[in-house]
Amino acid sequence: MKYGPLFGICDKHPTPETLIENIKQFEAQGAHGVVIDLDGLEEQYFTRECFRKILAACCRVESYVCCYRSAKTEHISDETRAEYLLMAAEEGASIVDVMGDLFAKTEGELAFDEKAVEKQKNFISTLREKGASVLMSSHVAKPCSMEETLKYFHAHYERGVNISKAVFHCNTQEEYLISREISEKLCAELPIPFVFVCSGEYGRKFQRYETLLNGSLMTFVRCRDGEVQPSVRQALDFMRSRTPWASAAKRLDSGEFVNRTAVITGAGSGMGLLAAKMFAGQGANVLLVDINKDAINEAVEEIRKNGGKALGMVADVRSYADAEKAAACALDNFKRIDFLLCFAGGYEPRCCNSNYPFYEQPIEVIDWGLDVNLKGPVYFARACMPAMVKQKYGVIICLGSVSGVQASGYGPMYGTSKSGLFQFVKGLALAGAPHNVRAVCVAPGPVLTRPGMAGMPTPLKRAAEVVEVVDFIMDLCSDRSSFITGSTHFIDGGYLCNFGR
Ligand SMILES: NC(=O)c1ccc[n+]([C@@H]2O[C@H](COP(=O)([O-])OP(=O)(O)OC[C@H]3O[C@@H](n4cnc5c(N)ncnc54)[C@H](O)[C@@H]3O)[C@@H](O)[C@H]2O)c1
């Protein structure tokens, strides 16, 4: 069975007719599956004949059937609920949702009552014998610690299901960060696919990014106020353009950067790493450059496994010889260099583990701050730009920072270099303009490449998600931004608006 990533939710339908209409709308919009929530149906429609009719409407989409407890079906016993689900499995449902507290209603929707668990296990194997995949769900609907959260997924797995789903709330960025760590653990530990939904005040904003960010098997789309089509279309456009790995072949067909080549420094981690995946996801050939060999190898392998074209090169941006080698490698293998993205960089006291005031900083740390952050982009631009000038096309992106405006007494080379880049892109813009080569500096505020960045206060009361910055860089590289050159763009959640106050 193949699961698509996008499932439209068909709920609150009192009759099979309106439900089927909703299924067809989602199908027409290109959803990969539909969630058929039976608990909206009037009681007279809980018949095999109606289920057959509804499931027959899902000939081109996967069907995920659930029958949660709602005001309408609260009076139905869990045994009857199970009979309905079994009927759906017999009528061809692809996925059947078994609540984690089926047969023993429990807060947090996960029962540990021994008899109920035994009954669940038998029921799950019966459903599987009928050919359905079984998903166990718990709508916990509150924030939980890592330990508690993992307990849900592991308990589902131990009961013999194919897929585990749990819905939690994240109301703050801190809680959302924990959810990221949890999803990493789930990806590494859980032997079955999972759906990890972080709702709540903070999590809801990023729900559409889930497949991209946390390894969830599927993403859900709701129809709001009867407006089904725009939401599906938007979500699909979003998935097609931003999801870097699922169904790579499809994406490469519609990829904005097919036949383009990106040279990306600092591609072993953080924003550079996500940019490599996202540019490859859009069809670009990518050359990943970093000093961290293992990180590069791992990233290249993942991109290739997902159908992207990637090469890795261990290089130090402080060396002009390395910059020339990287440019030559891109040209030898991909024949062009369309984008140069200079991510390699960092605050020297942190990167060199040397937290002293400037007057006590070892000179090597000071050199590191200037050489990696300023000379790195200068060297790579010098090495890559001739190819861009020759092909009459190119975009150079330098990563500045709000630290180019702010100062630090411990790592002043960082801010000096970043403000140097504000100026550098202007020179590049003038040199490149006659040849259709643009240069732009993107200057972020705090970005969640490290949890520590969440502590830097912004008026938006959060740090940027990595994808938000990379997304913006993709826009700047696209032809939609063809009149933007020589400028520095702050992406800082309003951080600098308050600066100095
Ligand atoms: N994360 C933030 O909050 C933030 C904010 C503003 C600006 N920035 C800037 O954005 C860029 C990316 O930041 P990030 O947080 O994603 O970085 P990161 O620390 O996650 O990754 C930096 C990468 O650069 C590589 N690197 C370091 N020295 C190198 C060298 N000499 N040659 C080649 N590669 C080298 C590292 O191995 C690492 O893989 C940096 O230039 C940073 O200054 C970051």
Distance CA 285, CA 268 (A): 16
Would you say residue 243 has pLDDT above 50? no
Domain shared by 223 and 315, yes or no: no
Nearest CA to ligand 1 atom 11: 343
Pocket test for ligand 1, best of 343, 375, 418 (most atoms within 8 A of CB): 343
CA distances (Å), origin 177, targets 15, 135, 164, 172, 441 = 41, 26, 21, 9, 28
Confidence bin at 248 (pLDDT 50/70/90): very low
Supply φ then ψ for residue 292, to 5 degrees.
-90, 100
Judge whether 370 lies within some domain.
yes
Domain shared by 227 and 374, yes or no: no
If you compute the radius of gyration of the chain from its CA atoms, what whole number of angstroms results? 26
Residue, of 453 and 391, whose pLDDT is higher: 391
Confidence bin at 221 (pLDDT 50/70/90): low
Q: Can you tell me which residue has the tokens 């990806």?
A: 187
Q: What is the mean pLDDT of residues 330-343?
A: 97
Judge whether 288 lies within some domain.
yes
Distance 113 CA to ligand 1 centre (A): 50
Residue, of 420 and 196, whose pLDDT is higher: 420
Q: What is the pLDDT of residue 214?
A: 58
Query: Sheet holding 394-399: strands in order across?
Result: 309-314, 285-290, 261-265, 339-342, 394-399, 437-444, 488-491
Distance 501 CA to ligand 1 centre (A): 28
Span 20-71, pLDDT tens digits: 999 998 888 777 789 999 988 999 999 999 999 999 999 888 899 999 998 8
Percent of the chain with pLDDT over 70: 88
pLDDT-wise least confident of 144-158, 244-258, 451-465? 244-258
267: its two tokens:
């591609």
Supply φ then ψ for residue 437, to 5 degrees.
-110, 125
* Residues 314/278, Cβ–Cβ less than 8 Å: no
Pocket test for ligand 1, best of 264, 271, 470 (most atoms within 8 A of CB): 271
**Geometric angle at alpha carbon 333, from 332 and 338, rounded to 5°:** 90
Domain shared by 238 and 256, yes or no: no
Q: Which amino acid is at 98?
A: V
Domain shared by 36 and 65, yes or no: yes
* Residues 438/394, Cβ–Cβ less than 8 Å: yes
Nearest CA to ligand 1 atom 7: 401
Domain shared by 456 and 475, yes or no: yes
Query: Model pTM?
Result: 0.65
Supply φ then ψ for residue 352, to 5 degrees.
-100, 5
Q: What is the pLDDT of residue 223?
A: 59
Would you say residue 292 has pLDDT above 60? yes
| Domain closes at, from 242, 261, 281 | 242
Domain shared by 298 and 196, yes or no: no
Domain shared by 434 and 309, yes or no: yes
| Domain closes at, from 242, 265, 287 | 242
Angle in degrees, 0-180, between the axes of helices 270-281 and 293-305, rounded to the nearest 10: 20
Q: What is the mean pLDDT of residues 217-226?
A: 62
- Ligand 1 atom closest to the Cα of residue 402 is 6
- Ligand 1 atom closest to the Cα of residue 371 is 31
Pocket test for ligand 1, best of 173, 265, 289, 291 (most atoms within 8 A of CB): 291
Which residue, among 268, 269, 217, has the nearest Cα to 243 in the 3D structure?
Answer: 217
Q: Report how far apart the first and last C-alpha atoms of the chain are (Å, whole number).
A: 58
Domain shared by 272 and 153, yes or no: no
Would you say residue 114 has pLDDT above 80? yes
Confidence bin at 222 (pLDDT 50/70/90): low
Would you say residue 220 has pLDDT above 80? no
Q: What is the pLDDT of residue 215?
A: 63
Domain shared by 151 and 109, yes or no: yes
Judge whether 173 lies within some domain.
yes
pLDDT-wise least confident of 217-221, 247-251, 321-325, 476-480? 247-251
Distance 25 CA to ligand 1 centre (A): 44
Residue, of 166 and 12, whose pLDDT is higher: 166
Domain shared by 185 and 276, yes or no: no
Q: What is the pLDDT of residue 381?
A: 98
Q: What is the pLDDT of residue 249?
A: 31
pLDDT-wise least confident of 4-18, 77-91, 372-386? 4-18
Could you give the number of structural domains in the chain? 2
* Residues 34/26, Cβ–Cβ less than 8 Å: yes
Nearest CA to ligand 1 atom 25: 266
Domain shared by 315 and 451, yes or no: yes
Pocket of ligand 1, beta carbon within 6 A: 265-266, 268-272, 290-292, 295, 316-318, 343-346, 372, 399, 401, 444, 446-447, 449, 453
Confidence bin at 213 (pLDDT 50/70/90): low
Q: What is the pLDDT of residue 252?
A: 36
Q: What is the pLDDT of residue 236?
A: 57
Distance 289 CA to ligand 1 centre (A): 12
Q: Which helix (H) or strand (E) holds 264?
A: strand 261-265
Indicate which CATH number applies to the domain containing 87. Answer: 3.20.20.70
- Ligand 1 atom closest to the Cα of residue 456 is 3
Domain shared by 368 and 277, yes or no: yes
Q: What is the mean pLDDT of residues 327-348?
A: 98
Q: Can you tell me which residue has the tokens 């959810």?
A: 179
| Domain closes at, from 218, 242, 266 | 242
- Ligand 1 atom closest to the Cα of residue 368 is 31
Distance 344 CA to ligand 1 centre (A): 4
474: its two tokens:
């993709």
Q: What is the mean pLDDT of residues 422-428?
A: 98
Domain that holds residue 377: 248-497
Average pLDDT score, the chain: 88
Percent of the chain with pLDDT over 90: 66
Distance 269 CA to ligand 1 centre (A): 7
Q: What is the mean pLDDT of residues 9-20?
A: 91
- Ligand 1 atom closest to the Cα of residue 464 is 3
Q: Can you tell me which residue has the tokens 């290109």?
A: 30
Q: What is the pLDDT of residue 344?
A: 98
Distance 245 CA to ligand 1 centre (A): 23
Judge whether 1 lies within some domain.
no
Would you say residue 169 has pLDDT above 60? yes
Distance 343 CA to ligand 1 centre (A): 5
Residue, of 232 and 463, whose pLDDT is higher: 463
Pocket test for ligand 1, best of 177, 287, 401, 492 (most atoms within 8 A of CB): 401
Confidence bin at 2 (pLDDT 50/70/90): very low
Would you say residue 412 has pLDDT above 80? yes
Would you say residue 491 has pLDDT above 60? yes
Q: What is the mean pLDDT of residues 452-464?
A: 83
287: its two tokens:
């050359």
- Ligand 1 atom closest to the Cα of residue 272 is 16
Q: Which amino acid is at 468?
A: E
Indicate which CATH number applies to the domain containing 253. Answer: 3.40.50.720
Distance 273 CA to ligand 1 centre (A): 10
